[in-house]
Structures are given as structure tokens and as C-alpha cells.
Amino acid sequence: MAVETIKQFFGEVIPASMEKAPDKWKAINATYKFDIADEGLWVLNCTEALGLTEGDGEAKCTVKISGPDFLKLINGQAQGPQLFMMGRLKVQGDMGLALKLQKVFDAIK
């Protein structure tokens, strides 16, 4: 299923996946903030306190990316490392957690 909007991804896809397989999400054991240009901020808590909130908040790893690039990333049309090397995906905080981001996207499947 292709995700058409960022709001759909954070508002429907992630919550449905968390409800379906909470243990898979908790196993990631990290907090991420997604700062998506012209779209908004979301904090994804993949720990025992599993949750997703819209707006600013604390996270161990912040990912900054444009809306179109984010949609390409979550729909498998772009790879995170390539976007990072091209300067189109920026990471603040724990770089090791950024490398685990693929597990976040795999948890949706």
C-alpha cells in the first residue's frame, strides 16, 4: 500500500501498525522526532511507553527531511543513506538510532 500523504502515514498507518504489533515497535527501543518541512513535527516513541504525538517533544534522534523526500522514503522509492549523503536528510542526536530507522519502516509491514 502506497502512502499518499504524510498526515495519512502518521495519523493512520503508524497507529494501526502499533495497535496490531506493539511488541515489534517496543523492540526498537528508541524515540524519534520527524521534522518534515512544511508538514509538521511528530515524535515517535518506540519504547515500553509506546506512542506517537504530533508536535515538538524530546527524542534521542531527530530526522529532518522535506515532505516529498519523506514520502519517497516511506514508499520505498528512495533510500535513507542516499538521501543523507545528498544532504536531503539530516540527522541530529544519536546517529546509531538513525541507522536503526529501517526497523521503524519495517515494523509497518
Q: Where are the beta strands (DSSP E) in the chain?
A: 30-37, 40-46, 51-54, 61-66, 89-93
- pLDDT score for 101: 82
Indicate the domain borders of the chain: 6-103
Count of alpha carbons within 13 angstroms of residue 90, beta-carbon side? 8
Cα torsion 53, 94, 2, 13 to 10°: value is -30
Residues 94 and 98: their CA atoms lie apart, in Å, by 7
- Four-way CATH pick for 6-103: 3.30.1050.10, 3.40.50.300, 3.40.47.10, 3.30.1200.10: 3.30.1050.10
Cell of 13: 498507518
Does residue 97 contact residue 30 with C-beta atoms inside 8 Å? yes
For residue 91, the model assigns a pLDDT of: 96
What is the full per-residue pLDDT of the chain (109 aa) written as tens digits?
689 999 999 999 999 999 999 999 999 999 999 999 999 999 999 999 999 999 999 999 999 999 999 999 999 899 889 999 999 999 999 999 988 887 777 777 6
